Amino acid sequence: MHLITRLIALTRSIQLRRQYREINKALEQLPQNVRRQLAAITLREFSNASKSEFPHLYATPPEDKYQAWGSGTDIGLERLRSDNLQVRLRGIALWLAVAFHETKDSPFGEQQELHRQLMRSLRTLKETIPAAELNRWMLNEAEAA
């Protein structure tokens, strides 16, 4: 059973890495002002995902709840390929939130490495926001909770 679990984790890791390359490429191509918009959307997606019973299954339809992993990353990637900028930004934010929660506490090295790469991307995204604006967002989120 351990071997099967390891094989499933490795397969998922390969899939997430492939998707991450596409997400990261899209992130790098965004202008600074659009990155600020993305940072705000990402913050909301993270907030919504963390309120979910299972954050790694955020945006997954209820009937798919018992699959090996959710469909949030696939939905995010599909949105990334849209012609509409706002839909693309929401797709990136959704993908980042779901992939973050999915890889966060993984015992598998491949997923831990992907999580570190995600953290780097999130840090660079966070650095696009002025500190005063970030503090205001955090206070608003705390008050809403």
Q: How confident is the model at residue 45 (pLDDT cuts 50, 70, 90)?
A: very high
Across 35-47, average pLDDT: 91
| Separation CA 135–CA 13 (nearest Å) | 34
| pLDDT tens digits along 104-115 | 988 888 899 999
Closest CA to 46 of 92, 118, 98: 98
The secondary structure of residue 25, as a DSSP letter, is H
Average pLDDT over residues 18-26: 96
Q: Mean per-residue pLDDT for 42-57? A: 89
Rounded Cα–Cα distance for residues 56 and 35 (Å):
24
Which amino acid is present at 108?
F
Can you give the pTM of this predicted structure?
0.88
CA–CA separation, 20 and 110 (whole Å):
13
Q: What was the pLDDT predicted at 61?
A: 85
